[in-house]
Amino acid sequence: MSDNSALAVLVLDTGRTAEVLIAGDLDLSADAVLGPAVSDLLIDPYVERIEIDAALVGFCDSSGLTALIRAHRRSTNYGVPLRLVQAGPRLHHILDITGLWHTLTTTPE
């Protein structure tokens, strides 16, 4: 995490499902923090799925949404399902009104 970031990322990679816990603000700095964390998981041959817990995200702007979409697309390109498993009320509302809730919370078959 960079010193200027308002987003904290904790990766729990203990098996086939890697958990990414994010807390703080999903803003302009989000892609620089979330992107490398997801990329590192995608090159791990043992990781078969990624779950993002964003229950502690308090703020999200368009840059934060872009970071989530990029992480989702990157994981799709690697054939590793990525889904959002928790979201606080504000983030849930934003994802719902932008139409991203279903995309980010549904596991591809």
Taking the chain (109 residues) in runs of 10, the rounded mean pLDDT of each run is: 69 91 94 95 95 95 96 96 93 94 81
* pLDDT at residue number 2: 41
Domains of the chain and CATH, by start: 7-105 (3.30.750.24)
Look up the pTM and report it: 0.89
* pLDDT at residue number 13: 80
* pLDDT at residue number 79: 95
The tokens for 86 are 């928790």
